[in-house]
Structure 1
Amino acid sequence: MSKSKILVVEDEKTIAEAVIAYLEKNEYEVIWADNGNLAVDYFRQNKPDMVLLDLMLPGYSGEEICKIIRSESRIPIIMMTAKSSEDHIVDGLNLGADDYITKPFSPRELVARVQSLFRRTLKNDSFKKNIIEFNANDLKIDLDAVEVFKKDERVSLTQSEYKLLTTMAKTPNRTYTRDELIQYAFNSDFDGFDRTIDSHIKNLRSKIETDSTNPIYIVTVRGVGYKFNGERR
């Protein structure tokens, strides 16, 4: 089983070294960024499972980093800071942080919070019945939030593209004719020809497929229509 990956964003070397030592002792893989700009780069390059985030940093501030991460991902964030007033804590949580620990803190306490947050996140995920994931989280559809993610990055779909995707993804390996897609995805709310479906499919592939010229999700069934492939998690 692969280790959970944690991005530690902390510009004070002694604090970072203590945190990293305790995390690695508890079998976590750790990436360290000592400034805000590097933190954003590492977040996007390494796709960590959690971020431990100092607020007062060179480059992007912790608050700015939190906003960037939340615009792109739902991974857990724990803020680590000397800003200990109630207003600061509330502001941090409102930005999207999941937990908040004030300096000075015990590395043991921080690790306990990390473990607790991972358990809570896993438990909550198990109850998200309206989230469907395919191919080891390569593609995720949040039916409640009406959002689609490709490798944890939000994909902007039109309403028509979203309707087509969810119609097919809910019944993988079923082949739909163009007329059936119009019927099931749009009902009577469709103004166009059946071949318009082809244009929507082409645009959808460009957004959710790794290689739209060789699609693995929305597959053409020649002479019939389309079907959705994908190993559901």
Structure 2
Amino acid sequence: MGNRRRVLVVEDEHTIAASIAARLRAEGYDVDLAHDGPAGVDAAERTRPDLVVLDVMLPGFDGLEVCRRVQARRPVPVLMLTARDDETDLLVGLGVGADDYMTKPFSPRELVARVHALLRRVERAGQSEPGQAPTVVGDLEVDAVQRRVRRAGVEAHLTPIEFDLLAYLAARPRAVQPRERLLAEIWGWGEPAGTRTVDSHVKALRRKLGADLIRTVHGVGYALEVAG
């Protein structure tokens, strides 16, 4: 079928890779497998997937390098899998172009939900109306049509999901957005266990655009706070 989505799974543990592939195929996806870093890059070039499920720890070279090379050739949504819940590793993964991450062990149902959500987000990203004016809040400018962001005239390079998160907050300046709402609106799913995904992306935005950009409301969520 021409409208079937294709997912590339890059995972060196064959049992886990086969399990992920079986679950995604049952959901109607076409799935390709690779089991090391170089094979993952080659498969992404050859199959041109709509999404990549990518393990961090791989033979040859690691998932971070795979993500970097894949994104340099052709941007594609990436869901990273990590055996460690290490914040530094997660931020590095987001920095090289990953859109979301899951920590092993994970439930197949949650993985499918994340894949669905990432693909829905890509569809929504292409629906901006031509001629739509950029959102300006203080010295921050968010252009939804060109998907470009500038602060104080300096352009910042964001991943697709970082852009969507920032655009959502910028459209509602100073209004506190609960983590659960951001998960539902940006990622398209509502599992409370995923709130650390929001936290990691906020940290990435602060690193790229300034620590003062987004205010944390402890126990609730985040608000855009740009002076001016």
Q: Give the TM-score normalised by structure 2.
A: 0.56
Map 1:126-141 → 2, pairs under 5 A: 126-127=127-128, 129=130
After superposition, give the CA deviation of every residue in 1:123-176 in whole Å (9 maximum; x if it has no partner): 01111748xxxxxxxxxxxx9479xxxxxxxxxxxxxxxxxxxxxxxxxxxxxx
Map 1:68-147 → 2, pairs under 5 A: 68-127=69-128, 129=130, 144=146
Q: Give distance in 1, aligned partners of 2:129 and 2:59.
A: 37
What corresponds to 1:220 in structure 2?
none
Q: Give distance in 2, aligned partners of 1:46 and 1:120.
A: 21
What corresponds to 2:66 in structure 1?
65
Mark the runs of 5 or more structure 2 residues left unpaired by the alignment.
Answer: 132-144, 149-228
Map 1:18-29 → 2, pairs under 5 A: 18-29=19-30
Residue identity (%): 43
After superposition, give the CA deviation of every residue in 1:100-134 in whole Å (9 maximum; x if it has no partner): 0010011110000000111111001111748xxxx
In structure 2, what residue type is equivalent to 1:56? Answer: M
What corresponds to 1:32 in structure 2?
33
After superposition, give the CA deviation of every residue in 1:170-219 in whole Å (9 maximum; x if it has no partner): xxxxxxxxxxxxxxxxxxxxxxxxxxxxxxxxxxxxxxxxxxxxxxxxxx
Map 1:37-48 → 2, pairs under 5 A: 37-48=38-49
Q: Give distance in 2, aligned partners of 1:60 and 1:105.
A: 23
Q: 1:4, CA displacement in angstroms?
A: 0.3
Q: 1:47, CA displacement in angstroms?
A: 0.6
Root mean square deviation of aligned Cα: 1.8
In structure 2, what residue type is equivalent to 1:53? Answer: L
Q: Give distance in 1, aligned partners of 2:44 and 2:21.
A: 17
In structure 2, what residue type is equivalent to 1:66? Answer: C
Q: Give the TM-score normalised by structure 1.
A: 0.55
What corresponds to 1:17 in structure 2?
18
Q: Give distance in 2, aligned partners of 1:5 and 1:129.
A: 29
Mark the runs of 5 or more structure 1 residues left unpaired by the alignment.
Answer: 131-142, 147-233
What corresponds to 2:156 in structure 1?
none
What secondary structure does 1:69 align onto?
helix
Q: 1:96, CA displacement in angstroms?
A: 0.7
In structure 2, what residue type is equivalent to 1:117? Answer: L
What corresponds to 1:8 in structure 2?
9
Task: Choose 1 or 2 for highest CA Rg.
Answer: 1
Map 1:179-190 → 2, pairs under 5 A: none
What secondary structure does 2:126 align onto?
helix
Q: 1:2, CA displacement in angstroms?
A: 2.2
What corresponds to 2:54 in structure 1?
53
Q: Give distance in 1, aligned partners of 2:90 and 2:116.
A: 21
Q: 1:73, CA displacement in angstroms?
A: 1.6
Segments of 4+ moved more than 2 angstroms: 143-146
After superposition, give the CA deviation of every residue in 1:45-98 in whole Å (9 maximum; x if it has no partner): 111110000011111210111110111122100001112111111111111100
In structure 2, what residue type is equivalent to 1:110? Answer: L
